[in-house]
Structure 1
C-alpha cells in the first residue's frame, strides 16, 4: 500500500462538505458508537457532506479502490483535466481511447482494470440514464435503497463505492461507508462483532450512530486509523495514554502486554 497522506481527501478544510455543528450526546445514554464518533468529531471535524456530482464521485471512488488518496488524487486530477472540460464527463469517458485513459490514471494503480471499469460505467450511465446530469439527479433524489441497489449492479461497484456516492454526492444521512480502516477499527473497539464482514460492520454503525453523524464519523474514523489505530502498530501498544479511545476500546486482537496484533477475527478463533 502506498504511503497514506497526512489527511484524507474528504476531511479537513480542503476536503469538501460543510463544517457543521452537531450536538454531542450524553455519554451516559448514548451508544458507545456515538460516543466514539462524537470524540472523533472533537479531534478532527464535524461535517455535512453532499453536493459532489454523482458520476464524478463514482469515477473518483473507482480510482481510489485498493490504493491511497496519495495515489488516486493525482489520477483523478489528470483525468478531469483531460476529460472534464466538456459538459458531460460520462460522454467524454465513454468515448475515450483506453490507452489514453490508462495513461491519465496510471498513478492510481490497477490502471488497466480501472480504465475498463470507468469506460464501462460511463457507457452504462449514458445507456440507462441518458446523461451525466440525469444520473446525478437520480443519485440525489431517488430513494437511497434504490440508488444503492442500482449502483451495485454496475461492474466494479461494491458496497463501499456505492455508499461513498450516496454520501458525498447524494448527501444522504445514515450512510456510513466501510473501508479497511473503518472495518478494522470498529471491530477492535468492539462496536461490531470481531468476525463481522464489511456489510455487517456497516449495519451495526448505521444502527448505532445517528444519521446526521454517520458522514463525518466515516471520514474522521479513517483519519483516526491513519494516526492512531494503524493495522500493525496501534498507538495503545505504547500505553493507554497514547490513544484517545483507550477508555472505550475493547482492544480486540491487540495485546499491549505482549505486543501482539492480529485481525480481530483471528483473536476470536484463538479464544
Structure 2
C-alpha cells in the first residue's frame, strides 16, 4: 500500500469539514463493478461525504483541473488565506482583480484561465444566489439532477467537477465522479466499454454500483490508480500477481508479453 493513506477523519466532508469513516453492510455483489468497489473498500477508507462548503468545493475542484493535488493544494490554501477570511468567498472573488487572483493561484497551473473562470463563476453565483451561503443551500437542498444541470451550465465546469460538488458538498449518494483514473481503470478492467467516454463510464458505474458505495468507490479508485493501475506502467505489466484486481481484470490495452500499454479504446477487438 502507498504511504499517502487517508486519515480516519474524512477531510472531504462531514461536520466541520470532517466526518468519520463510513461503514456499509457487505453483501454478495451483483456486478463485477460492485465486486471491484467492494475490494477497494477492503483496502482503502470507506467514508461518508458531504458538508464541504459548495462554492469552496467548486473553487477547489476547478483549481485541481489538469494538475495534481500537490500543485493545486498550495493554490487553494493561498486563495483561502487571501480571499476567504471573514468574507463571502464568492463576493470576494467576483470583486477581485483577475491579475491578483492569477498570481495567487499560480501553483495550480493554467492560472490565467482558471482565474478568469473563477471570477466569472463567482460573479454569476453572486448575481443569481446572492453569495456562497445561498449557493450552498441550493446545492445541498435542491434535486441533484437540477443541481448538476445548473453546474454544467457554468462555463468551465464539466461533468467531473459538477459531480465532485454533488458528492463532497451535497453528500449525494449514487454520485460516482469520473476523472482520468476512473475513466482509465474501469475500461481497462472491462467493466465499461473500451471506447466509452467519461459520461459513458459514469453511467455504467452509477447503474451497477449501489448508491452508498459510489462515494468511496470514486476516491478509492483514484488511490488504486496512483498506486497500482497507472496509465503507462500498471503493476500487472511486470508481475501479474502484483495487482489486487488481477482476477477481476480483462487487462484491456495491457500486454505484459510485449511490455506494451495502450488506451483501451485503441486496443484491437478480440
Q: TM-score, normalised by structure 2?
A: 0.94
CA apart distance, 1:240? 2.1
**Contact between 1:86 and 1:92, CA under 8 Å: does it hold in 2?**
no
Aligned residue pairs total: 262
Is 2:12 the counterpart of 1:16?
Answer: yes
Query: How many angstroms apart in 2 are the aligned matches of 1:159 and 1:12?
Result: 27
| Alpha-carbon contact 1:12-1:44 (below 8 Å) kept | no
* d(CA) in 1 for partners of 2:202, 2:175: 8
How big is the shift at 1:16? 2.9
Name the counterpart of 1:141: 141
Matched, 1:238 2:238: yes
Q: Structure 1 unaligned runs (5+)?
A: none
Structure 2 portions without partners, runs of 5+: 14-19
Q: Relative to structure 1, is the Cα distance of residues 184 and 153 closer, same or farther in structure 2, using a 3 angstrom cutoff?
A: same
Q: Distance in 2 between matches of 1:202 and 1:6?
A: 28
In structure 2, what is the Cα distance between the partners aligned to 1:231 and 1:179?
Answer: 13
The superposition leaves residues 142-194 of structure 1 with CA deviations (integer Å, 9 ceiling, x where unpaired) of 00000000000101000000000000000000000000000000100111000
Mapped partners of 1:84, 1:57: distance in 2: 13
Distance 2:59 2:12 in 1: 16
Does the Cα contact within 8 Å between 1:25 and 1:35 map onto a contact in 2? Answer: no
Q: Counterpart of 2:16?
A: none
Q: CA RMSD in A?
A: 1.4
- Give the aligned partner of residue 180 of structure 1: 180
* Cα deviation code 1:23-53 (max 9, x no counterpart): 22224xx211111111111111101110000
Which position in structure 1 is the counterpart of 2:201? Answer: 201
Alignment of structure 1 residues 145-164 onto 2, 5 Å: 145-164=145-164
CA contact (8 A) 1:19 1:45 kept: yes
User: How big is each residue's C-alpha offset from its partner over 1:55-102, in whole Å with a ceiling of 9 and x where there is no partner?
Assistant: 000000000000010000000000000000133110110011111111
Cα distance, 1:211–1:197 mapped onto 2, change above 3 Å: same
SS in 1 for 2:105: helix
Once the two structures are TM-superposed, the CA of residue 12 in structure 1 deviates from its matched residue by: 3.7
Determine if contact 1:32/1:191 at 8 Å carries over to the other structure.
yes
1:267, distance to aligned residue in structure 2 (A)? 0.2
Question: Residues of 1 paired with 2:190 and 2:101: CA distance?
Answer: 42
- 1:6 Cα shift? 5.8
CA distance in 2, matches of 1:98, 1:197: 33
Question: Conserved in 2, the CA contact under 8 Å of 1:53 and 1:169?
Answer: yes
